[in-house]
Amino acid sequence: MQVMKPGDGRGTLYIVATPIGNLEDMSSRAVSVLSSVAVIAAEDTRHSGRLLQHLGISKPLIALHDHNERGRVQSIVEQLLAGEDVALISDAGTPLISDPGYVLVREVRAEGLRVSPIPGPCALVAALSAAGLPTDRFLFVGFLPAKRTGRRTALDEIRKEVATLVFYESPHRIQATVADIADVMGAQREVVLGREITKTFETFYSGGAADVHAALMEDPHGNRGEFVVVVRGAEKAASDLMAGELNVDTLLSLLMAELPIKKAAKIASELTGMSKNELYQRALGLKEG
Ligand code: SAM
């Protein structure tokens, strides 16, 4: 059991969000906290140095990234114990959200020291807020595996999820990832892509997964910039069907009575969000057995 309140004479670790593209999104509270701390821990000190210079803030910077986070924790804890405040920032957006800082926050809290968030920009929240998909429940998945097989397996594991899904993706993989979403989750699954959010060329692509993929392939900027992928969750009925509560074989049998197997599998895939290939194999099995 732990309760953390201000004012115990020891330092506070501030987790400070910075802009994801538009510098005007820097909050005045973030500026005053960064101006007041003894030291700023940053993912990339050169990158953050430019932001701080723009803001007119001159503070000692220490690097804290995935490769040295454990080693840095002790010295930061010592500074906090000595009564000095420390801020953590990342290259863009909210630290710890697909960015370093988890180990530090965990350890600082374990020491009974105060951790205080200075909230602000976060690409996933910005994308979700403008996507027009349900926000009452969502699952943030971070980055999908870089390799195709791993990515498709990961998508397959969450295709029955009814909550809205949110992913980060790199420009090199965005087209392949949207193609995989269309294949694994269904061509009609609603997708909203937020590209270069808050920047000059901010663009939102929305529609069925296959249409969004086609639009990306046609757009000369379709593999440039930063992307957030938001995907509508599975329909409840489809999710139940996939969970076996409704019978997918009955649906396939009904469709196969009227249509060729391939077409039946395609329509069943569109209705359920299940993989076309899996349904085709299942339909073949039904026909044979
Ligand atoms: N901590 C950050 C946050 O709060 O959003 C995320 C850091 S993560 C390493 C970087 C990824 O966030 C990018 O690859 C992209 O998927 C997404 N991202 C960051 N800025 C973005 C922007 N302006 N527009 C779209 N996506 C963005």
Per residue in 97-138, pLDDT tens? 999 999 999 999 999 999 999 999 999 999 999 999 999 999
Section 48-73 average pLDDT: 94
- Whether the pLDDT of residue 245 is over 60: the answer is no
Domain with CATH 3.30.950.10 in the chain: 124-234
pLDDT value of position 242? 63
Separation CA 42–CA 46 (nearest Å): 9
Residue 19 CB less than 6 A away from ligand 1: no
Section 250-266 average pLDDT: 91
Q: Tell which residue, 206, 185, 198, has the closest CA to residue 225.
A: 198
Tell me how far apart the terminal alpha carbons of the chain are, to the nearest angstrom.
59
Please, which residues have CB within 8 angstroms of residue 78's CB and are 6 or more apart in sequence?
Answer: none
What is the best residue among 165, 168, 216 to mutate for testing ligand 1's pocket, by most ligand atoms within 8 Å of CB? 168
11-19-192 Cα angle (round to 5):
130
Q: The domain 12-120: what is its CATH number?
A: 3.40.1010.10
- Whether the pLDDT of residue 36 is over 60: the answer is yes
pLDDT value of position 276? 87
Span from the CA of 49 to the centroid of ligand 1 (angstroms): 19
Section 89-93 average pLDDT: 97
pLDDT value of position 123? 98
- Whether the pLDDT of residue 237 is over 70: the answer is no
Section 34-61 average pLDDT: 96
Q: Cα–Cα distances in Å, from 55 out to 27, 31, 39?
A: 11, 7, 16
Topology classification of domain 124-234: 3.30.950
Domain with CATH 3.40.1010.10 in the chain: 12-120
Section 219-239 average pLDDT: 89
pLDDT value of position 236? 74
- Whether the pLDDT of residue 25 is over 80: the answer is yes
Q: What is the pTM of this model?
A: 0.85
